[in-house]
DNA sequence: TCTGGGGTCCTAGGACCC
DNA sequence: TCTGGGGTCCTAGGACCC
């Protein structure tokens, strides 16, 4: 491994070193800090026998892979059998999900020692604006070095940092710096740094956009910057086209932001290839609705729109959604709405015999006081006549179940109808980690 | 033997209102 | 009787990100 902090520091400087920075606006004070192969690195930290070895977190699917494993082509999201094929010596570890959260939080605490302007974007990644910290800790490159040294010494994890004038540039710089390095892009060297890089390093360029750009002969960020904005908008649509052409010429107005509340809450379950029986669909949706509404209730929220996604045997998927006049948040109501939507989706595709995934999400969220409860009878008189319990009763039953689970664990109690027999491909602890607000 | 789980944003058509 | 223009909300799908 690279010694802490000292090695692997690069600076993209074309002319004389230390040219004065053009304007205050133009200073490179944004840092993007990104932990390397995060889950795998934590495992290697916890178990020294794993260090230097090809390891993956997961089992049937790779959730994260160490750099040693990545060298053989193993990637996150890959099926476990495929990873073993590519890397016969790979060692799979179950995953200490609580430890990931704890280590991620500790790293963020270190970052906040340098500046309060920290925008955490995920468990293992954050932007910083260090403009106000220079007089305390030195120039931004020195701050990057100090941050990496502290994270390495105090926590034991490798961290890569990009330093630049904008978030977009800093993010690209940290990707270029990996693993365990840092890259500073001086304002005068931005073009020289970006032009040769492949377009897919840009924020917002995924497989689809990359294909379309390649078809138009655009492969590098330099190609993109040279292309007329109007032609990009024709090629990619107005929003994506103008966004990319701005980023390519280094216009990125994004600032470091405070965390926002989530706009939607969802859950999904991959099922393998299963026959789309009404029982399977019902039981799975009930499980998902229960997860989603439990989180909503915990946050004191409820939502007016319920969306269901059904992915079929051929991996194509459809979504159906409905917006109701009163925000809903009980397990039973969301289950009912989701079941109706799934029934419609399946009825629209009678040729599809199998489902491979079901998802439920609730959006159009509102704050929900404990006293303010949904009234399902207003939503659907048919259901009311059929004898469904009233909203208040649903809500209080759900809150009781939530309380039991908080004390004894989530599997301690369930609606009888909610027992989820579907293939749980991923541990509950991983779901809970992914759920967490990064703030 | 096709690929987990949790999110955001954009587009486009239609309904509806003024 | 036919017509305009603008705005908001809803739905479905797609692309992208970590």
Mind listing the pLDDT tens digit for each residue in A1-11?
A: 334 444 567 66
Q: Provide, in whole angstroms, the distance separating residue A242's CA from nucleotide C3's C1'.
A: 35
Domain A264-435: which CATH class?
alpha beta
Q: How many C-alpha atoms does A407 have within 13 Å on its Cβ side?
A: 6
Extract the tokens encoding A276: 């789309």
Give the C-alpha separation, A81 to A60, whole Å: 7
Give the C-alpha separation, A29 to A42, whole Å: 29
The predicted structure's pLDDT at residue A434? 83
Low-confidence ranges of chain A (pLDDT < 70): 1-8, 10-25, 369-392, 407-425, 437-439
Q: Provide, in whole angstroms, the distance separating residue A343's CA from nucleotide B1's C1'.
A: 30
Q: Strand C: list protein residues with Cβ under 7 Å.
A: A 121-125, 171, 202-210, 304-305, 317-323, 364, 434
Domain A195-248: which CATH class?
mainly alpha
Per the annotation, the verdict on A125 as an active-site residue is yes
Domain locations in chain A? 1-194, 195-248, 264-435
Alpha-carbon distances, residue A68 vs A44, A60, A128, A140, A195 (angstroms): 12, 19, 29, 31, 29
What is the value of pTM for the model shown? 0.88
Mind listing the pLDDT tens digit for each residue in A189-210?
A: 999 999 999 999 999 999 999 9
Domain A1-194: which CATH class?
alpha beta
């Amino acid at each position: 491994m690279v010694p802490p902090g000292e090695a692997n520091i690069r600076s993209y400087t074309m002319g004389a070193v230390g040219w004065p920075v053009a304007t205050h606006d133009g200073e490179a004070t944004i840092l993007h800090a990104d932990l390397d192969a995060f889950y795998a690195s934590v495992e290697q930290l916890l178990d020294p026998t794993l260090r230097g070895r090809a390891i993956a977190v997961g089992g049937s699917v790779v959730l994260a892979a160490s750099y040693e494993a990545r060298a053989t082509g193993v990637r996150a999201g890959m099926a476990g059998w495929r990873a073993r094929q590519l890397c016969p010596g790979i060692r799979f570890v179950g995953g200490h999900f609580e430890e990931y959260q704890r280590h991620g939080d500790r790293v963020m605490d270190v970052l906040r020692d340098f500046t309060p302007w920290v925008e955490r974007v995920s468990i293992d990644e954050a932007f910083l604006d260090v403009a106000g910290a220079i007089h305390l800790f030195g120039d931004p490159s020195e701050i990057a070095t100090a941050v990496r040294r502290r994270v390495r010494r105090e926590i034991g994890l490798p961290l890569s940092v990009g330093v630049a004038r904008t978030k977009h540039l800093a993010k690209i710089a940290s990707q270029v710096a990996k693993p365990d390095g840092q890259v500073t892009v001086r304002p005068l060297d931005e073009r020289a740094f970006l032009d040769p890089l492949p377009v897919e390093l840009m924020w917002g360029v995924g497989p689809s956009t990359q294909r379309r750009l390649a078809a138009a002969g655009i492969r590098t960020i330099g190609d993109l910057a040279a292309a007329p904005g109007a032609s990009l908008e024709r090629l990619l649509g107005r929003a994506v086209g103008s966004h990319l052409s701005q980023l390519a010429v280094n216009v990125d107005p994004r600032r470091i932001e405070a965390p926002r509340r989530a706009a939607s809450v969802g859950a999904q379950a991959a099922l393998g290839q299963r026959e789309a029986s009404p029982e399977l669909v019902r039981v799975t949706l009930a499980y998902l609705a229960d997860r989603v509404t439990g989180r909503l209730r915990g946050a004191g929220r409820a939502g007016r729109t319920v969306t269901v996604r059904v992915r079929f045997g051929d991996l194509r998927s459809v979504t159906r959604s409905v917006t109701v006049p009163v925000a809903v948040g009980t397990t039973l109501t969301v289950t009912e709405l989701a079941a109706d939507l799934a029934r419609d989706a399946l009825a629209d595709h009678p040729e599809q015999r199998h489902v491979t995934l079901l998802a439920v999400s609730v959006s159009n969220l509102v704050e929900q006081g404990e006293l303010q409860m949904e009234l399902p009878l207003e939503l659907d008189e048919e259901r009311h006549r059929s004898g469904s319990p009233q909203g208040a009763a649903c809500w209080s039953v759900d809150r009781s179940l939530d309380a039991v689970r908080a004390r004894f664990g989530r599997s301690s109690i369930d609606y009888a109808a909610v027992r989820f027999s579907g293939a749980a491909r991923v541990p509950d602890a991983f779901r809970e980690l992914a759920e967490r607000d990064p703030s």
